[in-house]
């Protein structure tokens, strides 16, 4: 590569809102229903049916807009975006083109060169489409309209990002904010958060933007990073060969790490937008905005400061825990129950993170209750179980949410603090292992470790290792 290039990236992020009902009708948005069981004349585009706007959709959109420093559009309306595709029963999607609900905001991210603001061009509300399944046996497609009319917001960024890392930082920040607001669960792998990447390259130092492509079908942060790297190189190769980048939509195949053309601008659809006549204008008052502002939750940054101050958590712990709203809520609930915030934090940062990684799970997938972790902490605090047993019990809690109190009792895992009983076992171990005893007496300090191990084994792990150590030294 003879020249230096700069990558310019803007994102269109679709977020499925966590409402109970669809955007324009009273059908449920619950996931996983049998095909077409959550449909009605409105969301299947029957003639004569009329949409009515779900107020919660407007409030979620406003909340996200306020959290991302956007200005709220006081007089808004919806528009029809016309296109033919079987997943869209009306032959138009109700969206917002001319007067989107939020405009001109930004999100701050941390980069190696310091803080950077990624501008938000606009946020608009729209409806999702149905799902098409292609039948392999018969030459046909099957349509399920359960997702048709599920509310979405589309967050359009400015082309302010310069690397895959900045894209991921921006997305993580957005996801965290939206999760804190409760406006969506933002799961990339389940499609409740979808990011389309608009990318172009230009020679370093030039002002004018290069021709961009739009990349779709990105289902994980890793896929996004790989697709950005791949597309950047593809465009640079084209330019180096003296060819042109064609403005087009491409689809990413993450298994093959390769993208292909979906549709080019040449036959891009003309959406013939026009104002949606079936929905009345949306007027947002100062009072309504203040009401939403007042309801904004405590966000990660504020929570982090409070955890450090109120609970004395170290920076790192506070940062990791507040990265996930779920984890933060869990932490607060458990800390309240056992009054040992530092211990709760230790269990979350240590064993919980280890098991999450091992089981390839996200914090949101945690199934055990704060109450059972609090009980386990109480058991270790009063010395009823030693740390080895506690880890074993915790794994049981993590996987099956067992009650540690009854589990410890049933399995007989309570630490034996009865010195008499322990002394007997230690004596037996000394008798059974003359070789190690001799080694120890000849100055091989390490040999005692083996004897402690043997004692713990004989006690089925239920002894206090400190006490075992002490007894061994005494008796040897």
Q: Given the rule CB under 8 A, which residues bind another protein?
A: 10, 12, 19-21, 25-28, 33-41, 44, 46, 52-58, 77, 81-82, 84-86, 97-98, 121, 132-135, 138-145, 156, 198, 212, 214, 251, 262-263, 268-273, 275, 277, 279-283
- Between 33 and 297, name the residue whose CB sits nearer to another protein: 33
- CB of 12 vs another protein, minimal distance in Å: 7
Q: Where are the beta strands (DSSP E) in 77-165?
A: 79-82, 92-95, 102-111, 114-127, 131-135, 140-144, 151-157
**φ, ψ (nearest 5 deg) of residue 58:** -60, -40
Q: What is the DSSP letter of 230?
A: H
- CB of 179 vs another protein, minimal distance in Å: 19
Edge-to-edge strands, sheet with 79-82: 92-95, 79-82, 274-275
CA nearest neighbour of 101 among 120, 123, 79: 123
- Between 151 and 370, name the residue whose CB sits nearer to another protein: 151
- CB of 175 vs another protein, minimal distance in Å: 21
- Between 88 and 436, name the residue whose CB sits nearer to another protein: 88
What is the end-to-end Cα distance of the chain in Å, rounded? 72
- CB of 279 vs another protein, minimal distance in Å: 8
- Between 139 and 474, name the residue whose CB sits nearer to another protein: 139
- Between 198 and 386, name the residue whose CB sits nearer to another protein: 198
User: What DSSP assignment string belongs to 249-262?
Assistant: EEEEETTTTEEEEE
- CB of 176 vs another protein, minimal distance in Å: 24
Q: Which two tokens stand for residue 196?
A: 């389309």
- CB of 82 vs another protein, minimal distance in Å: 8
- Between 38 and 396, name the residue whose CB sits nearer to another protein: 38
In 401-446, where does DSSP find H-type helix? 404-411, 419-432, 434-441
CA atoms within 13 A on the CB side of 363: 20
Residues 337 and 371: their CA atoms lie apart, in Å, by 7
Please name every residue paired with 264 in a beta bridge, in sequence order, or none if there are none: 248
Contact 62, 101 (CB under 8 A): yes
- CB of 124 vs another protein, minimal distance in Å: 9
- Between 60 and 331, name the residue whose CB sits nearer to another protein: 60
- CB of 83 vs another protein, minimal distance in Å: 9
Contact 8, 162 (CB under 8 A): yes
- Between 134 and 357, name the residue whose CB sits nearer to another protein: 134
Q: Which two tokens stand for residue 191?
A: 């499609």
CA nearest neighbour of 58 among 280, 271, 274: 280
């Amino acid at each position: 590569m003879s020249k230096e290039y700069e990558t310019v990236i803007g994102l269109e992020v679709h977020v499925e809102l966590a409402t109970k009902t669809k955007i324009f009708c009273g059908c449920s948005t619950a996931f996983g229903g049998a095909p077409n069981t959550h449909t009605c004349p409105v969301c299947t585009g029957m003639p004569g049916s009329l949409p009515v706007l779900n107020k919660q959709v407007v409030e979620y959109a406003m909340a996200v807009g306020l959290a991302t420093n956007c200005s709220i559009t006081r007089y808004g309306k919806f528009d029809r975006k016309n296109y033919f595709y079987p997943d869209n029963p009306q032959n138009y999607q109700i969206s917002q083109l001319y007067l989107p609900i939020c405009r001109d905001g930004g999100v701050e991210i941390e980069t190696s060169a310091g803080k950077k603001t990624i501008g938000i061009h606009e946020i608009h509300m729209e409806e999702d489409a149905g799902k098409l399944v292609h039948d392999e046996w018969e030459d046909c497609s099957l349509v399920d309209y359960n997702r048709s009319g599920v509310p979405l917001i589309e967050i359009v960024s400015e082309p302010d990002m310069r690397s895959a890392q900045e894209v991921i930082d921006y997305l993580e920040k957005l996801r965290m904010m939206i999760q804190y607001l409760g406006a969506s669960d933002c799961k990339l792998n389940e499609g409740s958060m979808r990011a389309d990447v608009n990318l172009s390259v230009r020679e370093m130092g030039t002002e004018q933007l290069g021709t961009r492509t739009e990349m779709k079908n990105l289902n994980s942060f890793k896929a996004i990073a790989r697709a950005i790297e791949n597309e950047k190189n593809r465009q640079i190769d084209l330019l180096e060969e003296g060819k042109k980048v064609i403005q087009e939509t491409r689809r990413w195949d993450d298994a093959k790490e390769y993208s292909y053309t979906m549709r080019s601008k040449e036959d891009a659809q003309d959406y013939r937008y026009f104002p949606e006549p079936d929905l009345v204008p949306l007027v947002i008052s100062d009072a309504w905005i203040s009401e939403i502002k007042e309801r904004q939750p405590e966000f990660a940054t504020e929570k982090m400061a409070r955890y450090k101050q109120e609970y004395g958590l170290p920076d790192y712990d506070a940062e990791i825990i507040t990265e996930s709203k779920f984890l933060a809520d869990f932490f607060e609930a458990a800390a309240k129950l056992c009054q040992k915030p530092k211990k709760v934090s230790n269990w979350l940062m240590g064993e919980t993170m280890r098991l999450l990684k091992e089981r390839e799970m996200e914090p949101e997938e945690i199934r055990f209750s704060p109450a059972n972790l609090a009980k386990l902490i109480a058991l270790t605090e009063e010395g009823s179980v030693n740390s080895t047993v506690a880890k074993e019990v915790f794994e049981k809690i993590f996987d099956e949410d067992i009650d540690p109190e009854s589990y410890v009792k049933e399995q007989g895992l309570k630490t034996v603090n009865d010195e008499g009983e322990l002394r007997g076992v230690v004596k037996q171990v000394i008798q059974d292992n003359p070789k190690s005893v001799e080694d120890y007496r000849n100055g091989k300090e390490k040999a005692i470790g083996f004897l402690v191990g043997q004692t713990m084994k004989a006690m089925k792990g239920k002894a206090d290792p400190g006490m075992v150590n002490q007894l061994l030294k005494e008796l040897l």
